[in-house]
Amino acid sequence: MKTIMEKKETVIIGSGPGGYVAAIRAAQLGQKITIIEKEYIGGVCLNVGCIPSKALVSAGNRYYEAIHSEVFGVRSTNVKIDFQKMQEWKDNKVIKPLTKGVEGLLKKNNVEIIRGTASFKNQKNLIVTTTEGEQEIEFENAVIATGSKPVELLNEPYVIPFGKRVVDTTGGLNIQEIPKHLIILGGGYVGTQLAGAFSNFGSKVTILEKDPKIISFFDDDLVELVKKNFVEEGVTVITNVTAAHSEETDTGVIIRYEASGVPSTVEGDYVLVTVGRKPNTDQLNLEKAGVELTASGKLTVTDQLKTTVPGIYGIGDVVPGRAFAHKASYEGKLVAEIISGGDAKVQAKAMPVAVYTEPELATVGMTLKEAEVSEIKHTISKFPMKANGRALSLNQPAGFIRLILHPDDEKIVGAQVAGAGAADLIAELALAIDMEMVAEDLARTVHAHPTLSETVTDAAELAMGFSIHF
């Protein structure tokens, strides 16, 4: 295999929501950019994560609504779903246009794309293995944006190896049949979203979660709304699972587990493992570059995303913080500015989190639990969705919007939304926290009527003591 030597200005390893955004922004700032991608343009999020999972959620909602629309006076009979056609729509009408669009944007911004696997030779050189051989690249700057991969359970007390019917998220999103009984290991963001989707498709769903509650990052009153919906839809949630072992058969999988010390067994035709992800740093030969890692295998970085080696940066899932696509994109823009000579720093006061359960949940800034344990007694304003005309017209009255304000200056420091459109509504509240707004700023912002966004005005007016609608 012949090795070719080339010099590059800035090399970005990975083309996910962190890598491709960093590449485009850096190119806009005048840099010559090379992206190295071993698999998907657009990364896990676009190809086998965020986007396809929301496509499944949307399709599940459509199917469920087609069957259960009697409340609107709409009666449907003999409703059927062609699951393979749905998968084709997801792949050909959602994923492919977006991946082609990202590749087109990279080319339009003169970003060079090398298809191959990169590893460090030293602090200034990479070895890239392609189908045509090896290529050595000398770089001025390198950005590690290699993302993460699913955790496989191979060690006691959880031994659930991947197989034909034990699948990770990628496999779960590409199942070609509707499972009669789907067992989901892990009740986090992905597990709860796909539990709702497959339940809407008609699957019996069982969630096994090791923690005392599902989607544990959210406040209890938000989680209770999702649990209530799961009960109504027949989704079984089992928490405090302390051990689990799988036995795969030709037609299904048997899971033997312990929950709160009680041994039990559950059998399904598929098991979806969504217990977390780990950073893709183990194949980069980072030790040859001298890049330091944390105990969890993530890059040690400064507030300017610099690793311990000058000229090498990290963004997204490979650096500390939660593994969110929007976090990776935010850091991608920052690192492009920093490499281009800017003085930007990671300082987002508000990193929103959203989960597409039923109802949708979103949170940003301080949580209610944090406010309750704080030495400062924060002002809490909670406005119910059932008092909003648009929520009622959608037949989605469950949920609320909550604002958390600092008592001294009345600035908004946290917010939570549960209900229709929560993932979109949280953006205005993230802006309010970043811009250090007070309740009056939101109350005086005119929101169109009738909209879900009017709940922001209502929650703000409630915080001021001048509520009109509640």
Mean pLDDT (the chain, rounded) = 96
Catalytic residue IDs:
449
Average pLDDT for 185-204: 97
Q: Nearest 10 degrees: CA dihedral of 107, 110, 111, 115?
A: 50
Q: How many CB atoms lie within 10 A of CB 294?
A: 13
What is the architecture of the domain spanning 153-275? 3-Layer(bba) Sandwich (3.50)
Which tens digit of pLDDT belongs to each residue from 151-162? 999 999 999 999
Task: Write down the pLDDT at residue 99.
Answer: 96
Average pLDDT for 362-369: 98
Q: From start to end of 75-132, where are the E strands?
A: 112-115, 117-120, 125-130
Which phi and psi angles does 390 have, rounded to 5°? -70, -40
Task: Write down the pLDDT at residue 369.
Answer: 97
Task: Write down the pLDDT at residue 1.
Answer: 52
pTM of the predicted structure, to 2 decimals = 0.95
Residue 277 predicted with pLDDT over 70: yes
Residue 349 predicted with pLDDT over 90: no
Q: Is the backbone of residue 64 left (phi > 0), alpha (psi -120 to 50) or beta?
A: alpha
- Name residue, tokens 């087609």: 66
Task: Write down the pLDDT at residue 5.
Answer: 81
Q: From start to end of 145-233, where are the E strands?
A: 148-150, 153-155, 158-160, 166-167, 181-185, 204-208
Q: How far apart are CA 104 and CA 413, in angstroms?
A: 39
Which tens digit of pLDDT belongs to each residue from 53-84? 999 999 999 999 999 999 999 999 999 999 99
Residue 194 predicted with pLDDT over 90: yes
Average pLDDT for 120-136: 95
Q: How far apart are CA 99 and CA 194, in angstroms?
A: 22
Task: Write down the pLDDT at residue 2.
Answer: 55
- Name residue, tokens 């696509």: 325
Average pLDDT for 128-144: 95
Domain 3-150+278-339 has CATH 3.50.50.60: yes
Evaluate whether 3-150+278-339 and 153-275 have a shared fold: yes
Q: How far apart are CA 318 and CA 298, in angstroms?
A: 5
Task: Write down the pLDDT at residue 347.
Answer: 86
Contacts of 363 (CB under 8 A, 6+ apart): 217, 218, 219, 222, 352, 353, 414, 415, 416, 417, 426
Domain boundaries, the chain: 3-150+278-339, 153-275, 353-464
Average pLDDT for 435-461: 97
Fold annotation for 353-464? Enolase-like; domain 1 (3.30.390)
* Cis-peptide into 450, omega within 30 deg: yes
Residue 3 predicted with pLDDT over 90: no
Quick one: tokens of 38? 């071993």
Residue 366 predicted with pLDDT over 70: yes
